[in-house]
Amino acid sequence: MQTRRDWLRASVGLGGLFIAPELMFSNQEIKRFRPRPFLKQVKLSSNENPYGPSESVQKSVVEAFNHGCRYPYEYSDALAVKLAKKHGVEPESIIITGGSTEGLKITGLTFTQGGGEIIAGEPTFLAMMTYAEQWGAKIKWVPVAEDKGYDLNGISDRINSNTKLIFLCNPNNPTGTVIPKNKLEDFCISASKKTIVFSDEAYYDFIQTPDYPSMDNLVRKGANIIVSKTFSKVYGLAGFRIGYLIAPPHLAKKIRPNVVAMSNVLAIAAADKALEDNDFYNFSLNKIAQGRKMITETLEELKLEHVPSNTNFVFFHSNKHIDVLGKLMLEKGIKIGRPFPPFYDWCRISIGTLPEVQAFNNAIKEVYQKG
């Protein structure tokens, strides 16, 4: 069993990095959550949860190897029943997918194949739009507002008879913004009377606003709303590729035949166990909140503008082209995010483990204070 001393021994310092005592994990945390050692190159580019998968999930996956000879359908159906109960819908409203990205792609394919328009904010997560364009869809881009949040009025103004989908990534990737609680439901109710609203809630668990609603509540009322969820973020299962859609039966029936990847027995077992592991869920949220605070305090010290984040990443004004900053940071062992047009001098930085965040803070201070 790994101890605090074992973890420190396995952690390789980055450029002589001193890991402050408050950033180290307690013996109890190491025993229960087994955080990965600190390595020479820090990857903060893909919004993964570096604390996952939890120990209970790992054990569940090992046990699931005994079922690896079976097709995943009945296991997927059982997980759908569990998720339906969680979201207050019938199992027919749940579609298990090979990561939430598959859910985005097949929704775009289902409703825009051969033509039609999707309205989306810019910048945002592109999976639905880039795939739908290959099948004949046209995209109407609505630039984000000055505060980097969605321009809901601009989106509403662009709805017409050719609009097949409105794509909302909420919280938005890469900006980290969240649609104000008092505007979200009114917008979705109004827009869903004219077209289908797709709510990508990959980062929903990180929202800090109390009682912030998921749009699954409108799915329960039969509105033309589709909600996407993932196990990649707070649950730490990005490598397993499993997510799901929540849709009213009349929409789910249209989407389901286009599922291609689905998932597999091991990923389904991991997701099923992750739903039960509240200790790991809360541990992840707590550590990511600590890391987010550390990053924003450093950005403020450097006088680098940043967007208040409701996610496991921070979007900040780097005042350098992202390609230039990326090269400088990589030289210091930190891999950061890619460009997000049209904001080429902004950077999205994922929140790693606390020692990884400290390494990022040290490196970016060197870049801006000594550069």
What pLDDT, on the 0 to 100 scale, is given for residue 37? 73
Report which residue type is found at 75: Y
Least Cα distance to 39 among 1, 11, 6, 78 occurs for 11
Is residue 269 within 8 Å of residue 61, measured between CB atoms? yes
Q: Are residues 30 and 149 in the same domain?
A: no
Structure tokens at 189: 């109710």
Q: What is the pLDDT of residues 267-285, one digit of tens each?
A: 999 999 999 999 999 999 9
Please write the tens of the pLDDT for every residue from 85-128.
999 999 999 999 999 999 999 999 999 998 899 999 999 999 99
Boundary-marking domain end, from 210, 242, 274: 274
| 35/156 same-domain check | no
Domain that holds residue 208: 57-274
Tell me what pLDDT residue 14 has: 45
Both 42 and 66 in one domain: the answer is no
- The string of DSSP letters for 275-314 reads TT-HHHHHHHHHHHHHHHHHHHHHHHHTT--BPPPSSSEE
Q: Identify whether residues 30 and 157 lie together within a single domain.
A: no
pLDDT of residue 1: 45
Q: What pLDDT score does 28 carry? A: 73
Can you tell me the distance from the alpha carbon of 262 to that of 260, in angstroms, rounded to the nearest whole number?
Answer: 6
Q: Are residues 79 and 226 in the same domain?
A: yes
Structure tokens at 270: 């991991």
78 and 12 assigned to the same domain: no
Identify the pLDDT of residue 371: 61
Is the omega angle on the peptide bond into residue 171 within 30 degrees of 0, that is, cis?
Answer: yes
Last residue of a domain, one of 228, 250, 274: 274
Q: Do 30 and 73 lie in a common domain? A: no
- Token pair 């190491």 is at which residue? 30
Determine the Cα–Cα distance for residues 269 and 267; give it in Å rounded to an integer.
Answer: 5
What tokens does 296 get? 């924003």
Structural domain count of the chain: 2
Tell me: do 9 and 154 sit in the same domain: no
Its pTM stands at 0.92
* 127 and 202 together in one domain: yes
For residue 213, give the CATH number of its domain: 3.40.640.10
b/e 113-136 (16+ beta carbons within 10 angstroms → b): eeebbbbbbbbbbbbbbebbeeee
pLDDT, residue 38, reads 73
- Tell me if 269 sits within 8 A of 63, measured CB to CB: yes
CATH value at residue 22: 3.90.1150.10
User: Which of residues 239, 274, 309 is at a domain's end?
Assistant: 274
One domain for residues 316 and 267:
no
Same domain? For 245 and 287 the reply is no
CA 51, CA 41: separation in Å to the nearest integer?
Answer: 16
In the prediction, which pLDDT does 24 show?
65
What are the E-state strand segments in the chain?
42-43, 94-97, 117-122, 138-143, 163-169, 196-200, 225-230, 243-246, 313-317, 334-335, 346-350
Q: Are residues 251 and 140 in the same domain?
A: yes
pLDDT below 50 — which residues of the chain? 1, 7, 12-16, 21
Residue 350 to residue 292: CA distance in whole angstroms: 9
